[in-house]
Structure 1
Amino acid sequence: MLKRRSAGILMHPTSLPSAYGIGDLGPAAYAFADFLKQAGANYWQMLPVMETTARAGFSPYSSCSAFAGNPLLISPQMLHRQGWLNKRELETIRTLPADKPDFARAARLKSRLLDSAFERFQNSGQSHGDVEAFIERNRCWLDDFALFKVIGRRYPAYTWAQWPAALRHRDKNALNRFRIEHREAIKREQFIQFLFAQQFSALKRYCNENGILLFGDLPIYVVYDSADVWAHPHLFKLKPNKKPSFIAGVPPDYFSKTGQLWGNPVYDWSANARTGFDWWLRRLEHNLSWFDLLRIDHFRGFEAYWQVPAGRKTAVRGAWIKGPGATFFDAVFRRMPQAPLAAEDLGVITAEVRELIAAYELPCMKVLQFAFDGDADNIHLPHNHERNSIVYTGTHDNNTTLGWFQRDTTASIRRQIADYLGRPVTHRTIVSEMMRLAMASPARLCIVPMQDVLELDAAARMNTPAKRAGNWRWRMPPDSLKKSAAQSLKALIARYGRL
């Protein structure tokens, strides 16, 4: 449960400015933390920070691991400060665009820098007890992940389901031979994860010391081509050939006549329960070591989830299957009594899901862009917000507020906004009006996307869910963190008792 009124900004690190093709955990992240402090904001919300892949369009919601951090977020400047890179190596990748992230080029160039850092680590001749301690502490997931990555590079055109049978089915002798033959490459992957954890932990420590809490995001599902499904196939509904029996999605609704197929394998919750939900509890503990508050995406899947037989072209012929519900959350809170979790509860949510959220006093979400449909009982209208909730002007899946007003609202919606406010609204006033509504809400936490703080239009949109390419590409201009913007935001935060 959220205890006090506060405010924060949604800003994924890849959107930060940098000279290295993609925002990262370097100086710009610390400058953003300073901006949050100057603005009186207490929370920095991020999207998932797990490793992304080109195959999944570098989506932060489609990671090849539920545990491994994203190497693209490792800052070359911080590696230089730590002695892992020299100045000449640092200068070699200052050739990437600053306005849009170039994920593919950044991945190639950063991989070369990480090669240099690993070589320096190998040749240092010094004892690196901190690296070895990290590897030992994270062995329960790191060994399998590093092995998965190196095998994947050996067979780059294939998913793990197409690897040689001995590797696909995790034959012990075959895996041991591979480990011996590729010992150095495996150690490199472990070292990279150490670097990520070191940089992320340092940023979290800096934020916490300055009164800022990190707010993370946890997708309920993992992708099929991931270290987790390969290493723990018994926890998912797979066929004997290890391919999915069912895949996740959502049924047809007002927005889609055929529903949505996500492609993720669904969990075998009975198998998970027999282990005491061990993998899930370790996953939550791992994420909560990075974040002070954690949103669970598609929370309703714990109460009931839509599964579709694998191979279907649409989600129409699926079925609702009961999830683990209270049994799962009882296990979570037995292990972590104060686990700071929040529920993503957008879309069509049943009374049973609401009861599950209420039973564990989890904060839920309100989004102002969904509020103006003419129904005074709409749960997203500010007068209907619960205290134990998180209000947004919009999320990463929404247009920016200005883009929404200019492109997505009808005359009826614009009229309802004006009626609710008691005054006319225009494209010049809509962002400040929506931010004021959010800050004034009874909801204890108010989150505003950075694009709305900067009053940007649709060109700054982070993600369009129905769009297959071109997402996750917004970059904040380097000169955006002005003192005047921080002062203006702080005045708004103070006015509504959120300091």
Structure 2
Amino acid sequence: MEKQRQSGILLHISSLPGDYGIGDFGKEAYNFIDFLERTNQKNWQVLPLGITSYGDSPYQSFSAFAGNPYFIDLEEFIDRGYITLEEIKKYNLGNNPKEVNYGLLYKNKLEILRLVYNSAKDNIYNELNKFYLENKWWLREFGLFMALKGYHDNRSWFYWDKKYRKIDSDEVKKFEKDNEDSIYFWIFTQYFFDKQWKNLKKYANKKEINIIGDLPIYVSEDSADVWSNPQLFNLDDNLIPKTVSGCPPDAFAAKGQLWGNPIYDWEAMEKDNYKWWIERFAHSFKLFDVVRIDHFRGFESYWEVKYGSKDAVNGRWTKGPGMKLFDTLKSELGDLNIIAEDLGFLTKDVEKLLKDSGFPGMKVLQFAFDPREESDYLPHNYNKNSVVYTGTHDNSTVIGWMNLVDDKTREYATKYLKLDSHEGSNWGFIRGAWSSNSYLALTTMQDILGLDDKSRMNIPSTIGGNWIWRMEKTDINDELITRLRDITNTYRR
């Protein structure tokens, strides 16, 4: 079936406005869906919704299945009488409406949720238990992992007492029996995350708006996934990774990018008929209508470096599962609405994998304007089965990009897109994406607002100051709505 021409906005949940330190599933999320409807957008793309760990990156999570408790709307608990606004106000969740303070959230929002849990648990135990039994296949491992993590002062499971490092040990089984309450707190967070998110998604779908999710290729080394399934990862006898993930040196990073995630044991996964991946994709498509696979090229070949390396320079390319994985997914789950993040160094084999999969690849306008040569990222080269972005969460904003590039690149972009000061570079880039042949065009909320790099979401290979940007309640107005709706209607999206 041919994909319909459409457009949408990339805005992570954390970046929504609101009164509790971070964007959440409350009224401002519903207001944003109303804004999408009024501007004729058919898609809302979010970043991974997983529970974040060190560095606050949504791409480094304690679980491939669990949701981030920071996104739970506290207003529901006030309405239910489990906590009062006055009690919440005793906890500092951050006073800057333009930025997220993850340190305060870690300390105080989780404490607020514990208060709610203690207040509500007797009333909702049956609801929680029903949810637990329905999701026990992943929720048991997650709840147990997080409770054990708390018991070990939140250290990585690599540094736990040896007797707790194996999920099937007698000590872990005894801990599970003796610590039901601390485990059920984490079940409580997942119950309300799941309930509130699915209600929000239902609201979006009712307005014919798709939610595009994001699936990181890797999981964090400090995760329930690695702890509970060590046989699926390339670990040594002491459960330490032999090699970890990254990207080789390129024009953007002289020493490459050292991500540090454990590498999958693809042979073991194939013998198991990719069961873990089938479960992961099935779970993702309960949360999202469309799934963007991050670092798609890693399924063809991935860069791995020795564990303990200081950078990603000395690594090697190793073959991934290729179409064997995607053929199995299709056999088990049917046709899946997937976007492949195919950015970076692409070989003929990667291009063949993308073609064989049938998934649309990505085009990023900011990559297009090298005045010296032709580029696949120039709009006149797009095929219909592609998704164009003005920029992604890992890029500068359009305004930031225009300020950073050399004069010749800026001049070529200006000439190609016919940019002018009256329209603004950000709207010129949006016009370039919306007018292209790609079936789906997406831009960031920062580009719609015309913000510079002070509002950039992430600078790859850096820690600190990332993932913190938030929009304000007053950012959306009638003029903005009219402008976005008009450009969307003009280019028949």
Contact in 1 for aligned 2:419/2:428 (Cα 8 Å): no
Structure-1 residue corresponding to 2:269: 272
Contact in 2 for aligned 1:42/1:212 (Cα 8 Å): yes
Q: Percent identity of the aligned residues?
A: 39
Q: Secondary structure at 1:479's aligned position in 2?
A: helix
AA aligned opposite 1:119:
N
Structure 2 CA distance for partners of 1:403 and 1:427, relative to 1, 3 Å:
farther
Q: Which of residues 57, 60, 63 is equivalent to 1:59?
A: 57
Q: TM-score, normalised by structure 1?
A: 0.95
1:340: how far off? 1.1
What pairs with 1:55-454 in structure 2 (closer than 5 Å)? Answer: 56-93=54-91, 96-97=94-95, 98-124=97-123, 129-156=126-153, 158-374=155-371, 377-406=374-403, 408-421=404-417, 423=418, 425-426=420-421, 429-454=424-449
Q: Secondary structure at 2:346's aligned position in 1?
A: coil
Please state if 1:40 is matched with 2:40. yes
Contact in 2 for aligned 1:63/1:223 (Cα 8 Å): yes
Structure-1 residue corresponding to 2:28: 28
Contact in 2 for aligned 1:2/1:388 (Cα 8 Å): no
1:495: how far off? 0.3
Structure-2 separation of matches of 1:427 and 1:101: 33
- CA deviation map 1:179-207 (0-9, x unaligned): 12211100111111101001101100011
Structure-2 residue corresponding to 1:19: 19
1:460: how far off? 0.9
AA aligned opposite 2:44:
W
Q: Secondary structure at 2:65's aligned position in 1?
A: coil
Q: Which of residues 467, 482, 486 is equivalent to 1:491?
A: 486
Q: TM-score, normalised by structure 2?
A: 0.96
Contact in 2 for aligned 1:296/1:342 (Cα 8 Å): yes
Segment of structure 1 superposing worse, 285-294 or 77-86: 77-86
Structure 2 CA distance for partners of 1:24 and 1:256, relative to 1, 3 Å:
same
Contact in 1 for aligned 2:14/2:24 (Cα 8 Å): yes
- CA deviation map 1:122-156 (0-9, x unaligned): 233xx654432221111111001111101111112
Structure-1 separation of matches of 2:220 and 2:92: 33
Structure 2 CA distance for partners of 1:156 and 1:414, relative to 1, 3 Å:
same
Structure-1 separation of matches of 2:353 and 2:372: 25
AA aligned opposite 1:96:
G
Q: Secondary structure at 1:396's aligned position in 2?
A: coil
Contact in 1 for aligned 2:67/2:193 (Cα 8 Å): yes
1:11: how far off? 0.4
Query: How many residues end up aligned between the 2 structures?
Result: 492
Structure-1 residue corresponding to 2:477: 482
- CA deviation map 1:405-445 (0-9, x unaligned): 12x21110111113313x46449621111111000010010
- CA deviation map 1:292-347 (0-9, x unaligned): 00001000010011111212223222111110001100111111112111100111
Structure-1 separation of matches of 2:369 and 2:118: 57
Segment of structure 1 superposing worse, 315-324 or 109-118: 109-118
1:2: how far off? 6.3
Structure 2 CA distance for partners of 1:424 and 1:173, relative to 1, 3 Å:
closer
Q: Secondary structure at 2:287's aligned position in 1?
A: coil
1:210: how far off? 1.0
Contact in 1 for aligned 2:24/2:73 (Cα 8 Å): yes
Structure 2 CA distance for partners of 1:167 and 1:473, relative to 1, 3 Å:
same
1:489: how far off? 0.3
Structure-2 separation of matches of 1:157 and 1:235: 24
Unaligned residue ranges in structure 2 (runs of 5+):
none
Contact in 2 for aligned 1:237/1:265 (Cα 8 Å): yes
Structure-2 residue corresponding to 1:458: 453
Unaligned residue ranges in structure 1 (runs of 5+):
none
Q: Secondary structure at 1:229's aligned position in 2?
A: helix
